[in-house]
Structure 1
Amino acid sequence: METDKMMVRPVITLLTDFGKIYPAMMKGKILSGCPEALIIDMTHEIPAGNISAGSLVLSQCASAFPEKTIHVAVVDPGVGSSRKALLIRCRGPDRYFIGPDNGLLVRASFGDAGGTDLSGIVPASDRRSGDIPDVFVIDESLPLFGNSSKTFHGRDIFAPAAAALANGCFPEDLGKRIDPAGIVRPPVSENIIEGSLSGEDGIVIRTTVLLTDDFGNMITSLPYEALYDKTGFSGQENLTAEIGQDDEEKDAGNPEQEKTGKKDAEKKKTDKKKAEKIKAKIVGTYSEAARGTPVLLKGSFGTLEFAVTEGSAKKYSEERGFRTEDGCRLTIRITEKRTDEEQAEQETNG
């Protein structure tokens, strides 16, 4: 008995910081070039210009899609400048990434490249098995792109390139292959881990909030495994945590912030309300704590996450004087739980 086979449609995903209006223009350009394309909105709500947040979300979401998927990512503060437009072809699994050469694509694409020294390109915790990707610089002078604007390469360069790939065009037809060593590295958020559970101050962590999700969970840049590797911490010990605002604010991957960084830093010092310390429970799942309890756990992205059970860590922190914008810094102190007598003695001596 013969059955009809469903035609496989090319899948194209979009990740941007464009919000509600501009993605429609990209979709129109893609469908004009490839009407059969199945377009999936990964998200258009990356915080404006935040390359680190876009890189994190892209790397986590892209792996869920089938082979041959074309991922278009645009968080592009440098649009119209001399920065290159990239097309990256990955093998094993086969997939493509298209976007600006500002580090946005690297974590997702080179995270699949194992067996080589990628230090400085992608964190060790994100490296997986696979061949080294092929990197191409898109030739923006091709007739395919017409008279592109200098402010909207998502519509005028990246969308048509994705449609061309979906139609069977080879990357070699769209640009020149280059050495991967020449591309821009992703922004690095500083994570500091000091001390040990046996020490007087316990484990002290300074990390960056890369992104706050729709639940108000604050997703940090610290890989949970790095915490274990550094301290032997598993999260199952009889521990307690105290969360504070790091006085030394660091940028988390938004180049535009660097322009006004000094002025903003001075303003923060002037306006800053002293943040309270937040006591948090270390858990494996949200359900291990009562409603409204601040918790630390390994989040869906594999990093240390600050949440409030059935609540919002962002709102909870703001009510206690914290700055919660993406890129803010947290200091977390993890210690062994003490009895009431031990706690009273420490407060007396301290």
Structure 2
Amino acid sequence: MMAKRTIALLSDFGLQDVYVGVMKGAIAKINPHLTPIDITHQIPPQNIGAGRFCLMNAVPYFPPDTVYVAVVDPGVGTGRRSVAVSCEWGIFVAPDNGLLGGVLSLCQAQEAVELTNPVYWRSPFPSSTFHGRDIFAPVGAHLASGIPLREVGTEINPQSLITLPISPITRTASTIQGCIQYIDHFGNLITNIRADQVQGKDWAVHLDEQVISTSYTYSDRALGEIVALIGSHGWVELAINGGNAQRQLQLDYGDPVTVVFEQKLPDLSKKPHF
């Protein structure tokens, strides 16, 4: 029996068309003992940043020898590289367009190859529009079946990989300005401000003249009320209890968000009298 490692898939292909099923079929033809796990196929079309965020937040919950096939690839068929990269979290097969940037910001690449060996492709003449089927899924299946990384391509310097860093935050003594880096299915707005940058402090989110106070859960606010909190992903998030924050606040990817640290006034009633 061929080796069997966990193989996980992420794409912007959606579920209406045959693309996801065809990728799984390509995997099964190589090793029918592999059972792909879908991370998501609902990344907004061509949104590399959203794919970056979802992949980065998914990998800590998978076995460390997982093979990931990630395809959000607006440059398919162009000169952009197809790569496979190993780190302590597993092996990642993807276009070199920044999709792996979140993972590589947390997990240092150990080896990287450009996928140049057509022996491990579905065909030596891949489609110019569907590398997910013809290159990424087959290579992922071979790697999950035990083929060494260096056999599937030509070694490259991991430092040459495109990382697509998210917009940097700007800090002052009393504020952090960041932006929206992801919008989930519920319309919750996830910023690029990390939990450890605000925890243990009194803070609120300011959107122009609107001040959004913080809470621990969505339901700590009345239905329809806006709340700022730390989401399960570990980032500052804006949400509406029972509603859609994106729709109500009219914010989108990249829009600015400011956290303001609140100054507590001294309680003069406790000041000693002389």
Q: Same fold by TM-score, threshold 0.5 exceeded?
A: yes
For residues 284-333 of structure 1, what are the alpha-carbon distances to aligned partners after superposition, in whole Å with 9 as ceiling and x for unaligned? 3324333322111111221111111232212321xxxx3x2323333454
1:242 aligns with: 206
RMSD over equivalenced CA pairs, Å: 2.3
Contact 2:187 2:247 in 1 (8 A): yes
1:185 aligns with: 163
What SS does the corresponding residue of 1:184 show, helix, strand or coil? Answer: coil
Q: 1:133 aligns with which of 107, 110, 130?
A: 110
For residues 106-141 of structure 1, what are the alpha-carbon distances to aligned partners after superposition, in whole Å with 9 as ceiling and x for unaligned? 32145223xxxxxxxxxxxxxxxxxx4211111154
Return the alpha-carbon distance in structure 1 between the equivalents of residues 156 and 204 of structure 2: 50
What SS does the corresponding residue of 2:193 show, helix, strand or coil? Answer: strand
For residues 53-106 of structure 1, what are the alpha-carbon distances to aligned partners after superposition, in whole Å with 9 as ceiling and x for unaligned? 111110110110113211111111111111111111223x5x111001112113
1:329 aligns with: 256
Contact 2:121 2:134 in 1 (8 A): no
Q: 2:97 aligns with which of 98, 102, 106?
A: 102
For residues 247-279 of structure 1, what are the alpha-carbon distances to aligned partners after superposition, in whole Å with 9 as ceiling and x for unaligned? xxxxxxxxxxxxxxxxxxxxxxxxxxxxxx433
Q: Give the aligned residue type for 2:116.
A: D
TM-score (norm 1): 0.68
Return the alpha-carbon distance in structure 2 between the equivalents of residues 207 and 84 of structure 1: 30
Return the alpha-carbon distance in structure 1 between the equivalents of residues 180 and 77 of structure 2: 29
Return the alpha-carbon distance in structure 2 between the equivalents of residues 327 and 85 of structure 1: 27
Ranges in structure 1 where 5+ consecutive residues have no aligned partner: 1-6, 114-131, 197-202, 245-276, 339-350
Deviation at 1:192, TM superposition (A): 1.9
1:273 aligns with: none
Ranges in structure 2 where 5+ consecutive residues have no aligned partner: 266-274
Deviation at 1:8, TM superposition (A): 8.4
Q: Give the aligned residue type for 2:154.
A: K
Contact 1:209 1:221 in 2 (8 A): yes
Deviation at 1:35, TM superposition (A): 0.8
2:179 aligns with: 208
Q: 1:57 aligns with which of 54, 57, 60?
A: 54
Deviation at 1:142, TM superposition (A): 3.4
Q: Give the aligned residue type for 2:230.
A: K
1:150 aligns with: 128
Bigger drift between 48-57 and 151-160 goes to 48-57
Deviation at 1:45, TM superposition (A): 1.2
How many percent identity over aligned positions?
A: 34
What SS does the corresponding residue of 2:172 show, helix, strand or coil? Answer: strand
TM-score (norm 2): 0.86
Return the alpha-carbon distance in structure 1 between the equivalents of residues 6 and 204 of structure 2: 45
Matches within 5 A, 1:1-350: 9-20=4-15, 21=17, 22-91=19-88, 93=89, 95-109=90-104, 111-113=106-108, 132-142=109-119, 144-146=121-123, 147-196=125-174, 203=175, 205-225=176-196, 227-228=197-198, 234-235=200-201, 237=202, 240-244=204-208, 277-317=209-249, 322=250, 324-336=251-263
Q: Give the aligned residue type for 2:253.
A: D
Contact 2:204 2:259 in 1 (8 A): no
Q: Give the aligned residue type for 1:190.
A: P
Q: 1:55 to 1:241 in 2, by over 3 A?
A: closer
Contact 2:26 2:122 in 1 (8 A): no
Q: 1:66 to 1:103 in 2, by over 3 A?
A: same
